[in-house]
């Protein structure tokens, strides 16, 4: 009976990988086949970025609970997991046929090269959505925050990125 439950878990993980945009090649990778051992029963995959990390094939998996870095080799498995609170940003560069995705965390940066463009876009958008969602949840405790205060707080929490002001903001700053 436990074997049937594990097979159902494997099918669910495979289905979620396909929904995240993983190709047939991606499903054959060692990381994809090892993933059912890593994902909890109550955890769901929303986005995946797989490609080359340093000189090795690896995968970044974004679930509803955490981000997992997985590098499966025949004799070793390298796995890191980080919560969305530790993620400080994400960067995506689109090249001709592939993309490069860099996940910036407080621990380290995970740079994936030769990533499927569709997977890279989905992964980047999901990470950004999670960061905004976590930010709003943290500020939900402080009641009566208006939109201007939230925008100002987000501007001040860009962690090394530049805020490009709109034309109205430029005009307002020049008047003052």
| HSE (side-chain half, CA atoms, 13 Å) at 2 | 0
What are the structural domains, with CATH classification, of the chain? Answer: 2-175 (2.30.29.30)
Q: Please determine, for residue 15, whether its predicted confidence score (pLDDT) is greater than 90.
A: yes
- Residue 1 confidence (pLDDT): 46
Neighbours of 127 (CB within 10 A): 24
Q: How far apart are the first and last CA of the chain?
A: 72
pLDDT in tens, 121-135: 999 999 998 988 887
- Residue 148 confidence (pLDDT): 65
pLDDT in tens, 133-157: 887 877 765 555 566 666 666 666 6
- Residue 12 confidence (pLDDT): 95
pLDDT in tens, 20-75: 999 999 999 999 999 999 999 999 999 999 999 988 899 999 999 999 999 999 89
């Amino acid at each position: 009976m436990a074997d049937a439950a594990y097979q159902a878990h494997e099918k669910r993980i495979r289905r979620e990988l396909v929904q995240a945009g993983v190709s047939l090649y991606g499903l054959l990778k060692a990381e994809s086949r090892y993933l059912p051992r890593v994902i909890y029963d109550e955890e769901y995959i929303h986005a995946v970025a797989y490609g080359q990390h340093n000189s090795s094939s690896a995968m970044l998996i974004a679930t509803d609970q955490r981000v997992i870095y997985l590098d499966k080799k025949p004799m070793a498995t390298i796995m890191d997991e980080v919560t969305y609170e530790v993620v400080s940003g994400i960067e995506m560069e689109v090249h001709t046929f592939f993309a490069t995705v860099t996940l910036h965390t407080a621990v380290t940066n995970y740079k994936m090269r030769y990533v499927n463009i569709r997977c890279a876009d989905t992964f980047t958008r999901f990470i950004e959505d999670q960061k905004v969602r976590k930010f709003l949840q943290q500020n939900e405790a402080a009641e009566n925050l208006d939109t201007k205060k939230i925008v100002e707080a987000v501007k001040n929490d860009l962690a090394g990125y530049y805020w490009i002001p709109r034309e109205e903001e430029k005009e307002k700053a020049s008047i003052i």
